Structure formats: C-alpha cells, structure tokens
Structure 1
Amino acid sequence: MPYSWITPPPASPVADAPGEMHLWPHQSLPPQGYARFIGVTALLIALPLLSFAGSIVFWGLLPFLLLALFGLKYALDRNRRDAQVIEVLTLDATEARLERRNANGTQQSWQCNRYWVSVELHPKDGPVPNYVTLRGGGREVEIGAFLSEDERKALFDELSRFF
C-alpha cells in the first residue's frame, strides 16, 4: 500500500503519543527499472542504426533517434517529478492535522480538534470513485485522492477506526 503508519495513533483520547501516517502516489518504475528501461531503449534504437554505419543515412537518422531517446527520458523524469507528492496525517489525543507537500514545492495544511473530525467516503460524488474526505473545523479536505479505488476503500476503513 502506498501509505503506512509511521507511528501508530493513540487508541484512546488520554494517550499522549501522536500517530503519524504518510501517503504517497504509487511509483511503478523504481530507479533500477528506470535505468534499465532507458538502456534497453537506447540499445533497441541503436541496433537498426548500426546497419547504416558509415553512410550519410546514419548521420541523417542519428539526430532524430537521439531526440526520441531524450524525449523519452524527459517524459519519464517529468512523470517522476510530478509524482513527488506526500500527505502526512498526524493524530494526537486532541488534534488531527493533515499536511500535503505538492510536487511544485507548495504546502497545504488543515487541522481540527480530533473530536469533531469525521471521515467520509463518497462512492460516486467525488472527482474519483470512492473519494475519501476528512470533515471538521468548518472545512472538508481530501485525503489520498492519488490512491487506487481499492486503496481508498481500505484507507477509509482504517481511518474510520480512529474518528
């Protein structure tokens, strides 16, 4: 699951240790896979190009094939950079706090008295199926919108135990 409890939340309101959950988008291509994919793609581009080695066609095709390779690298890097989002939910005995660090470096935060927080699941009303929100303090904020549909259901069930 692309979320986990770093420290378990307090089960009772008298506990003083805060609980902290981190949520992040799923990264389907790890760094080793990224390097391997770029390498294999470069090899597959170079193999047909070798048949034209020593001719003017080689030099005519080379810039376009390099442009395709660097375009692929740029797209993968951009995708990785855009997925650098993390949400941190902190629960202590009296307060719930949600902080979101976006890919562009901006931060958003929400906090509320834990007693007034409610977790809601919107099966069809949200921008994505099984949209999960936290309501309290006069605001409603989304949590885990980047998770898959089944992961949002599991997140809702898990958060429902604490609110």
Structure 2
Amino acid sequence: MPYEWTPKPPHTTPDWSLSLWPYRSLLRRDFVLFMGATATIITLPLLTVLGTAVLWALLPFFAIMFTGLWYALNLSYKRGEVLEELHVTAQVAQLIRHNPKGPRQDWQANRYWVTVHLHPKGGPVENYITLRGGDREVEIGAFLDAAERLALYDDLKRALRV
C-alpha cells in the first residue's frame, strides 16, 4: 500500500501519523534502465543504414520519439510528487498536503469531532474518502485506487476510535 502508519497499527495511544503518496509502477532506477533499453532498441535498426543518407532522414524522427518519451515520463513523475500527512494527537487532527506545484494545504480540527466519510459513488472518484471536522470537509487519498481507498477508510475508522 502506498501509505505508512507511524507507529504501526494497532494504535494503543491517541498519537499517530499517516503518510500517503501515489503508487509508482516505474521507479527512478527502472526509469534509467527503461530509457537505456529504449535507446539501444532505437539504435539497432539505425546500424543497418549507417553511412547512408537514409540515416540522416530517420535520425530526427528517432530523436524526437526518444525525447518525447523522456519528457512524458519525467512530467508524469513531477505531477505525482504529492504527499499527504495526517498527524493526530489527543486534542488535534491535522492534514497537510504537499502539492507538486503550488502552496502547501493545511487542515486542522479538534480530534474529538473528526469523522471519516466514504462516498462510494458521489465523489470525483469511486470510494472517495473525506475527513470532516470543524467547519470544513477535506479529501484524503484521492490519488489511491478504489481498493486502496476502501482499505484506508477501514483503517482510518479504527484509528480515529482510539
């Protein structure tokens, strides 16, 4: 799961933290390997036309394709640099969202009044989770998939009862 509890559940104290981040199927190390393999695969057909004018006709298209692939994957990584941190003490619950671009978003409420809500169909994504406390309702874990959000909902319900 792309989230981590501190300390690990079950929570015996009312003080705990939860960190959430988007799932990454292609790690940075694998990105380098993938791009290296792609460059090798692109180069092999060019070896057959080495020393001819055809090489110069094909080379720009291969370079554009490789650059476009690198740019798209790099852009995907930058957009996915989201981190949500939920810190709960005996008195306060605080959610901090670190966005890839833009300001940090904070939400804070009295822990006693914080409730977690699951919206199976009504939200922007399936199994949408919100925290309600004070005068605001905020989303949590919208970047997780539907099954992960269901598991997170159950975990949050249990954790907020302590």
Question: Does the alignment reach a TM-score above 0.5?
Answer: yes
Contact 1:21–1:90 (CA<8 Å) still a contact in 2?
Answer: yes
Q: Are 1:83 and 2:56 matched, yes or no? A: no
Deviating more after overlay: 97-106 vs 149-158: 97-106
Q: CA deviation at 1:8?
A: 4.8
Q: CA deviation at 1:105?
A: 4.3
Q: Distance in 2 between matches of 1:152 and 1:96?
A: 19
Q: RMSD over aligned Cα, in angstroms?
A: 1.4
5+ long unaligned stretches in structure 2: none
**Identity over the aligned pairs, expressed in percent?**
50
TM-score by length of 1: 0.93
- From 111, 116, 119, give the equivalent of 2:113: 116
User: What residue is the counterpart of 1:48 in the other structure?
Assistant: 45
- From 24, 45, 65, give the equivalent of 2:21: 24
The number of equivalent residue pairs is 159
Q: Are 1:6 and 2:6 matched, yes or no? A: yes
Contact 1:21–1:89 (CA<8 Å) still a contact in 2?
Answer: yes
Secondary structure at 1:162 match in 2: helix
TM-score by length of 2: 0.93
User: What residue is the counterpart of 1:35 in the other structure?
Assistant: 32
AA in 2 matched with 1:73: W
Secondary structure at 1:27 match in 2: coil
Secondary structure at 2:101 match in 1: coil
Q: CA deviation at 1:19?
A: 1.1
Contact 1:86–1:102 (CA<8 Å) still a contact in 2?
Answer: yes
Alignment of 1:51-130 (within 5 A): 51-130=48-127
Contact 1:85–1:101 (CA<8 Å) still a contact in 2?
Answer: yes
Q: CA deviation at 1:147?
A: 0.4
Q: CA deviation at 1:162?
A: 2.7
Secondary structure at 1:161 match in 2: helix
Q: Distance in 1 between matches of 2:2 and 2:77?
A: 15
